[in-house]
Structure 1
Amino acid sequence: MEQKLDSDVTDAIEDAEAQLPTESAILSDPNQDPRFIIQRKRLYTIVLSLCLCLFLSTLESTVIGTALVAITNDLQGFNISSWIVTSYLLTYTGFLTALAKLSDTFGRRNVMCLCIIIFIIFSIACGVAETMLQLIVFRAFQGIGGGGMYTMAFVIIPELVPPSKYAAYSGLIAGVAALSSLLGPIFGGIISNRGNWEWIFLFNAPNGTVTLILFYFALPPAFPYNMEDANAPVNLHLAQKVRRIDYVGLLLILASSFLLVTAIQEGGIAYPWDSGVILSLLILSISCTAGLVCWGWSFTRRSTTAQEPVLPWTIVSDRYALGLLLVCFFTGLGFITCVIILPQHFQIVFQDSPARAGFRLLAMTLVVPLGSGAAGLALQNLHTPALYVFLTGFAFIILGTGLSTVVKNVADGFPTHEYGFQVTMGFGFGINLAAAVMAAPLAFRPQHLAVGMGTSNQFRVLGGSIGVAICANILNDHLANRLRGLLSPDQIRALLASAQTLAFISPDLRQAVRDTFAESFVMQMQVILGLSCAGLLATLLMIERQPRYQHYVFNRQNRGIGRYGMLLDR
């Protein structure tokens, strides 16, 4: 009976799909779908501006690492220098989902332009800061703009391009994000070596201004709606927009993110993990997260409400969507952590300059776009279920990180076979990063796609923050145990803040430091290996009797008809 029902549903779907207009027909008929009427030159301009937004915001999260020594030498305040990084991550992470949701109310263009303006203004403020405290505060506001630019790029792409091109553009933005993560430490090292760390921030002003102009004039004001659509955000009165905001949800999601990121950044470094401060932060974060989920569920019990929940219950309760979010979490954990610890490993253990360490990292980051292209080919052209693509990506990540755990030799110089390990894991990261973006329309309903993309980004960045914190604690504990009595606590903290501090350590101690860092790196990669295996297991949440295919997104988005949509309705 069940087989007969599935057969009847399949036949009905095929009949319905046969009556649907083709993509070429929609492209020639502007009334069919407003997303597909953007002219080619304008489309390319929008995509260019989105890539620039993504590049600038991601670059700013990694560029500061190799410039901390130059900044602290100039502004002093080494004891709070870590907050230059932490303050940016706090707001960058906390506002990813919130700004994506607000764009549903106030419009994509308005929110993105506001984020770019905030990013430009506070980048300039960072560049002219005269004290460490000023720089930390300005970096926090800069993170709001950077986080908004990052998440809005991923929100707009699925609504901008036709389904047949979605894989290619998703791979493009995933590659841009990977490239900017790589170039950050290189730029930071080159600029700080010249003694002009201010240009790390001032560099964003002209580039951000160009990006703002391109984006504002290229993207239609009501995007992704028609101007005549009464539901378009630009056509709503301000009072209507204000009533749609979920203030409680915004407060809970910001509080949970801020508290969690603060705990994982300070735990084990500024405070012991079992201290009252860290435990309080973690408990409060968990409580706010639970409150956010319950608050989203409460909207399902209301018959009518003008508000729209920041985190809809359908995202939390859907097993497939939850699996996708966990894939984003564990992939971001591995990728962002490797981008941070590998250059540090190269600089300390093999005594590379920041620029040379960045070039060594090219072995991993340059194959990320190749992995993204392979994911697009599998999902879009071969109609492979996203589950199988993610399993393949994690297989490469596990293989690459597993092989990296055997790298122990220091005296013989840099082992060339480590390039092969980086290529392997980089290919896996590329597959998962792009597939997560391309699979979002399969996991989230069209009306929740923006907040779903924002939540995916938040999980990805949170995973990276947690991974970096775990590895920093491993390194900190190992250095403290092995180098106790050889280096002072201030010297150890300086090494953790910047690898350039090694030059100020006496030559007879440098070898001991290099050996200790090499041992710590193996331990760090073992942790990433174990967490990547956990990510592979989490992917199994996406197992379905009838897998969802990228092939059906086009019909689901444009007509609400298609295999996935009818199965959900049934």
Structure 2
Amino acid sequence: MGSSAGRLYQSGLPRRQVVTALAGTMLSMFLGSIFMTITATAMPRIITDLGGFSQYTWVFTSYIITETVAVPLTGRLSDMFGRKWFFVAGMAIFVVGSFLCGISQTMTQLIVFRGLQGIGFGVMSALGFIVIADIFPPEERGKYGGLMAMVFGLSTIIGPTLGGYLTDALSWRWCFFITIPLGLIIIVLFIFLFPQLRVGGTRRRIDYAGAITMMLFITPLILALNWAGVDFTWSSPVIIGLFGLTAVMFVIFVFIERRAEEPVIPLALFRNRVVTVSGIAVFLQGAAFFPGITLVPLYFQGVLGASATQSGGFLTPMMLSAAVGSFFSGQALSRAGGHYRLQAGIGFLLMAAGFLLLSRMNPQTSFLTAIINNVMVGIGAGMIMPVHTIAVQNTVPYAIMGTATSMIILLRPLGGVFGLAIVGSVLNNRFISQFTGNLSAGVRAVVSPEQLAGIVDNPQALVNPAARAQLQAMFEGLGGQGTALFQELVSTLQNALNSALTQVFLVFFIVVVLAFIVNVFLKGVPPHRDRRDVR
């Protein structure tokens, strides 16, 4: 079997179809990943319209939970039934979910429909990196894996600016509607131009029990982490019950997977040190990076006073640096050999330094300083993105390539789920304690308990010009003292948000340091070894 890039490495497709497969995969990845940052930029205005600051992180958590479940199932099922129609189905689900998000009237509806979007993107994101392993030999996977990670970075560069513009100029709903025509075009391209890619072999039994029990231990765990300290105390029967259900379902899941013919997550993979270390490292990276993306616009708007368009533009350098880091990291993997530990280690150090600097910011921090801190996080995250996926692909037999790849892809957003869940609790609790604890008696005398409760639930209401003007007019009706009290209210709000967000950034710093320590145990794997079981 030749290793020429002009032919599909395993099944002999001509260059034209290889290019079509790569282009289609990159387009779907672009459209799916762009919505992570579009939604992050629009969220402050969405909360203004729909309310529910305490549910802020759930809009992202529901997306990542469903994506997490879809990824391993896609890896297994596409090995059995081929890649093409899973791509079509994934994009169709994503488009329908986007439309429903755009017409949502409550935060609950938006959260549910974001979950539907997550299923579609989970299918597409899993297949993206699996197809790279299908069509390119080991020595070229770093190059194209880095390119795929760069697509993620580029999409998130466009996302913040586009999301900010649509939110300010039209409505946050257009952040979702814009995907519909683009998604339909991609579906047509998939149907008529995308090649059939199948690993081969007989169709085997689907691990329904494993998939169901995986959902049943992930979901109660995330619910417990989101509700604890916000809606219920940590010692409440609800939280204890959810943690108990998580433990029971996890034990059942492990029992099922050890006996399944085609497990969703083959536990034997974790005997491989590269797989185990890579899995833990990407989990921890996801726990810091994905929540970081969602919270940066909140900091720029809520603490530094930027508009939605400005905050989108300020997030762009972070994502551009991630794209550049991914591209050059992938090139280095292909050209210089399997220096996985070194490249990922440098990336983790840069991420840690960036989050530490972010944790030291305050309302007087300049936009330039905040941008530089974000760029450090972005470069580091970009350097890490392709490394562990390629390391795993180059160390496992081809017979389980799709499963191993989907597992690594699964663990990064799963880490994001945990990170977002913990962030939601820390952010909400810290903000409430700081805001209510530092509010002066003079402001309390002017603001009714109902208005105060509304600000606590939705601090971003002051970003909305109409809401801000209404509240400001009420204060100014008291004369000069009222104007001073209004400025005091705004300052207290900004300081409370700053305290909450910088504490979260410090948590991210600790998480990334742990990831760096884990990465030290990653061993090198020669990238030119062909471990395929070619049929």
TM-score bucket (shorter structure): 0.7 to 0.9
In the TM superposition, residue 493 of structure 1 has moved relative to its aligned partner by 2.2
Identify the match of residue 114 of structure 1 among 61, 83, 89.
89
In the TM superposition, residue 152 of structure 1 has moved relative to its aligned partner by 1.8
Change (3 A) 1:216 1:388: same
Say if 2:244 is the partner of 1:292.
no
| Larger mean Cα displacement after TM superposition, 436-445 or 125-134 | 125-134
Identify the match of residue 492 of structure 1 among 456, 480, 504.
456
* Contact map agreement 2:51 2:457 (CA 8 A) in 1: no
2:286 is aligned with what amino acid? G
Aligned counterparts of 1:346 and 1:76: Cα–Cα separation in 2: 20
**1:471 aligned residue:** 423
* Contact map agreement 1:476 1:496 (CA 8 A) in 2: no
Say if 2:63 is the partner of 1:88.
yes
* Contact map agreement 1:363 1:422 (CA 8 A) in 2: yes
**2:320 aligned residue:** 366
**1:446 aligned residue:** 398
| Larger mean Cα displacement after TM superposition, 281-290 or 128-137 | 128-137
**1:275 aligned residue:** 236
**1:52 aligned residue:** 27
**1:209 aligned residue:** 184
Q: What is the alpha-carbon root mean square deviation over aligned residues?
A: 3.0
Aligned counterparts of 2:419 and 2:62: Cα–Cα separation in 1: 17
Identify the match of residue 514 of structure 2 among 534, 549, 557.
534
Equivalence map 1:62-211=2 (5 Å): 62-68=37-43, 71=46, 84-129=59-104, 134-211=109-186
Identify the match of residue 334 of structure 1 among 260, 282, 288.
288
Question: TM-score, normalized by length of structure 2?
Answer: 0.85
Change (3 A) 1:258 1:208: same
In the TM superposition, residue 177 of structure 1 has moved relative to its aligned partner by 1.7
**1:310 aligned residue:** 264
Identify the match of residue 206 of structure 2 among 245, 249, 252.
245
In the TM superposition, residue 499 of structure 1 has moved relative to its aligned partner by 5.9
Aligned counterparts of 2:130 and 2:222: Cα–Cα separation in 1: 23
* Contact map agreement 2:258 2:266 (CA 8 A) in 1: yes
* Contact map agreement 1:402 1:525 (CA 8 A) in 2: yes
Q: Which ranges of structure 1 fall in alignment gaps of 5 or more residues?
A: 1-20, 300-306, 561-570
1:37 is aligned with what amino acid? L
**1:423 aligned residue:** 375
Say if 2:424 is the partner of 1:460.
no
In the TM superposition, residue 372 of structure 1 has moved relative to its aligned partner by 1.6
How many residue pairs match? The answer is 507
1:127 is aligned with what amino acid? G
2:259 is aligned with what amino acid? S
Look up the SS of the partner of 1:99 in the other structure.
helix
Aligned counterparts of 1:321 and 1:520: Cα–Cα separation in 2: 35
* Contact map agreement 1:36 1:161 (CA 8 A) in 2: no
* Contact map agreement 1:312 1:448 (CA 8 A) in 2: no
In the TM superposition, residue 44 of structure 1 has moved relative to its aligned partner by 2.9
In the TM superposition, residue 441 of structure 1 has moved relative to its aligned partner by 0.8
In the TM superposition, residue 369 of structure 1 has moved relative to its aligned partner by 2.3
In the TM superposition, residue 274 of structure 1 has moved relative to its aligned partner by 3.1
Look up the SS of the partner of 1:37 in the other structure.
coil
**1:520 aligned residue:** 500
Change (3 A) 1:27 1:193: closer
Say if 2:435 is the partner of 1:483.
yes
| Larger mean Cα displacement after TM superposition, 361-370 or 65-74 | 65-74
Change (3 A) 1:279 1:184: farther
* CA deviation string 1:236-291 (max 9, x = no partner): 6xxxx4x5111211111222222233333333333333332233223322332333
* Contact map agreement 1:70 1:195 (CA 8 A) in 2: no
Q: Which ranges of structure 2 fall in alignment gaps of 5 or more residues?
A: 440-450, 473-485
* Contact map agreement 2:38 2:162 (CA 8 A) in 1: yes
Identify the match of residue 385 of structure 2 among 433, 457, 466.
433
Look up the SS of the partner of 1:556 in the other structure.
coil
Aligned counterparts of 1:406 and 1:483: Cα–Cα separation in 2: 19
Aligned counterparts of 1:58 and 1:387: Cα–Cα separation in 2: 26
* Contact map agreement 2:142 2:330 (CA 8 A) in 1: yes
Aligned counterparts of 2:57 and 2:464: Cα–Cα separation in 1: 15
In the TM superposition, residue 132 of structure 1 has moved relative to its aligned partner by 5.7
* CA deviation string 1:378-432 (max 9, x = no partner): 3221114322222222122222223333333x33x51534433323222111111
Change (3 A) 1:355 1:437: farther
1:550 is aligned with what amino acid? P
* Contact map agreement 1:323 1:541 (CA 8 A) in 2: yes
Look up the SS of the partner of 1:557 in the other structure.
coil
Aligned counterparts of 1:93 and 1:141: Cα–Cα separation in 2: 12
Change (3 A) 1:82 1:338: closer
* CA deviation string 1:110-135 (max 9, x = no partner): 22211112222333333345666554
Look up the SS of the partner of 1:356 in the other structure.
helix
* CA deviation string 1:501-530 (max 9, x = no partner): 994765421112222222333322211111
Aligned counterparts of 2:295 and 2:109: Cα–Cα separation in 1: 28
1:391 is aligned with what amino acid? G
**1:322 aligned residue:** 276
Change (3 A) 1:166 1:106: same
Aligned counterparts of 2:113 and 2:231: Cα–Cα separation in 1: 22
2:39 is aligned with what amino acid? I
* Contact map agreement 1:344 1:499 (CA 8 A) in 2: no
2:422 is aligned with what amino acid? I
Aligned counterparts of 2:266 and 2:525: Cα–Cα separation in 1: 21
Look up the SS of the partner of 2:511 in the other structure.
helix
* CA deviation string 1:142-186 (max 9, x = no partner): 322122122222222221234443222211221222333454444
Change (3 A) 1:478 1:341: same
Change (3 A) 1:46 1:144: same
* Contact map agreement 1:367 1:423 (CA 8 A) in 2: yes
In the TM superposition, residue 316 of structure 1 has moved relative to its aligned partner by 2.9
* Contact map agreement 1:397 1:426 (CA 8 A) in 2: yes
* Contact map agreement 1:69 1:498 (CA 8 A) in 2: no
Aligned counterparts of 1:522 and 1:79: Cα–Cα separation in 2: 18
2:14 is aligned with what amino acid? I
* Contact map agreement 1:92 1:147 (CA 8 A) in 2: yes
2:493 is aligned with what amino acid? V
1:141 is aligned with what amino acid? L
1:529 is aligned with what amino acid? F
In the TM superposition, residue 100 of structure 1 has moved relative to its aligned partner by 2.0
Aligned counterparts of 1:178 and 1:288: Cα–Cα separation in 2: 36
In the TM superposition, residue 352 of structure 1 has moved relative to its aligned partner by 0.6
